[in-house]
Amino acid sequence: MSREKERDEDMLRLQVPFFNNGLSQTGAPNTCFINSLLIALRSLYCFVRLLLTGHLFDFYHVHGYEDDRELLYSLIALLRAMLQDTSRYQMFTSERRLKFVRILQRKSDQLGLHGHGPVEMDEQGDPSELIVYMVNWLQESLQQVCAEHEQRDSGGQQASQRSRTREEASRVANQLRNLLNEFVPAMSDFTRCPAGHVSGQVQPTLIQLPLQKYYSNITECLADYFSPEIVYKSCTTCRLDSVEARKASRLSQLPEHVFVIAFTYNRNNHNVSGYL
């Protein structure tokens, strides 16, 4: 088992840049497509094996990444798998979850990000706490990456380099946006009002980042759309105002600066809307 683990780690470490970026970085696309596809499938197989055996956290801890963007892509891929079924987290021990949080904290410190500190979790800890922490870290990392891109752009890059930088930053933003879209169904609270009344069909819609003016104003865009406040409009059943509703909801216990989601649902032919 140890030999298989080492083989999976070696294979994944060699192919992670391709696996994360989705593009072959060597050779012509026409001549390397089949080989690249086989490499991607094998990398995916190794990634899944490490995840299912619980060795993925050890892999990140031992090897890490020199390029923070590669880590960012890997975390997004990992989060997508985790968000599909939060109960899957129970297979991970508290020690492994905390180890992964510490890795994120260390990377945040290296980037000069403040973060939200380590998450305290025991064996019965809520895995959503880990999700919230990583989503926060991803948002701050995205801001850092975009700030670096802007700094390089202002340093007199050629037009072709600026275009590639813009595309790369846009790809990161799109992946984060898709991640947040997948985060919504994982939270059962969206099917009820803050007081616990069944609220009918909830149709959450992520507020779209204005990517057309995205590159030069990414910092302002994030500041405008990611609000620390959790607001609920009055429920058609209990008529709670936003303050009481916020107090009644356990979602109010989430850390600030998580993300903003606009949602609407229909109750007795009346549309109720709010923001999370």
Going from N- to C-terminal start, the domains of the chain cover 191-276
Mean pLDDT throughout 202-211? 32
Q: What is the pTM of this model?
A: 0.27
Q: Which residues contact 251 (CB under 8 A, 6 or more apart)?
A: 187, 189, 194, 230, 276
The per-residue pLDDT of the chain, averaged, comes to 45
Residue 227 has pLDDT above 60, yes or no: no
Report which listed range, 48-57, 60-69, 87-96, 222-231, is most confident: 48-57
pLDDT digits over 162-184, tens only? 555 556 555 655 655 555 554 44
Kindly report the number of other CB atoms within 10 A of residue 81's CB atom: 13
What pLDDT was estimated at residue 99?
A: 56
Pick the range with the lowest mean pLDDT from 92-101, 121-130, 220-229: 220-229
- Rounded mean pLDDT of 61-78? 44
Q: Which of 29-38, 42-51, 92-101 has the lowest mean pLDDT?
A: 92-101
Host H or E run for residue 206: strand 202-206
Looking at 5-14, 204-213, 265-274, which range is the least confident one? 204-213
**Does residue 153 register a pLDDT over 60?**
no
Is the Cβ–Cβ distance between 89 and 133 less than 8 Å?
Answer: no
Longest Cα–Cα distance of the chain, Å, equals: 64
